[in-house]
Structure 1
Amino acid sequence: MNAFTYEEQELMSIYDPGTREGLIANLEEMRGYLEPDEDELRELTDSALEKLRGISDAEYEQLELMPDFED
C-alpha cells in the first residue's frame, strides 16, 4: 500500500464519509470546484485520489482518518 502523507490524511479526513468509494467521489467533486490558481491543493488531491484508487476497501478500513484540530 502506498503510504499517505500527513497532508493527504488531513485532506481525506475532511471529506471522508466512511467509505473508500464515497471518499473518492467527495474528493473528485471538491476538485471540480478548485480555482485555476489552487495548484498545490489540486496536486495534493490528485495524489490522494491515485493512492485511494490503488488500495482495497479493507486497506481503507485500516486508515485512521480523524481530523487533527489541535494544530
Structure 2
Amino acid sequence: MFRTRAILALIIILLIAPQTPKENFLLTEFHESGLFSNYAESKRFLNWLTWFTIFLFLLTHLIK
C-alpha cells in the first residue's frame, strides 16, 4: 500500500508542478502529441487526469 501511495504522490507532483499560470508545459506537450484534436480537448483531459489522480491518492489513504 505504501508503494501505491508513493507512486501516486509522485505522479501528482509531476502533474501539478509544471502547471503554472504563465505557462503550462504539460498542456503544451499533450496538445503537440497529436492525441487530441484541439487545445480545449487536451486541457480538459489534463484537468480530468489531475483530479482523478488526486482522488485515487485520497482513496488509497481512506482504505488503509
What TM-score, normalized by structure 1, do the two folds share?
0.28
What TM-score, normalized by structure 2, do the two folds share?
0.30
Structure with more helix by fraction: 2
Q: Larger Rg: 1 or 2?
A: 2
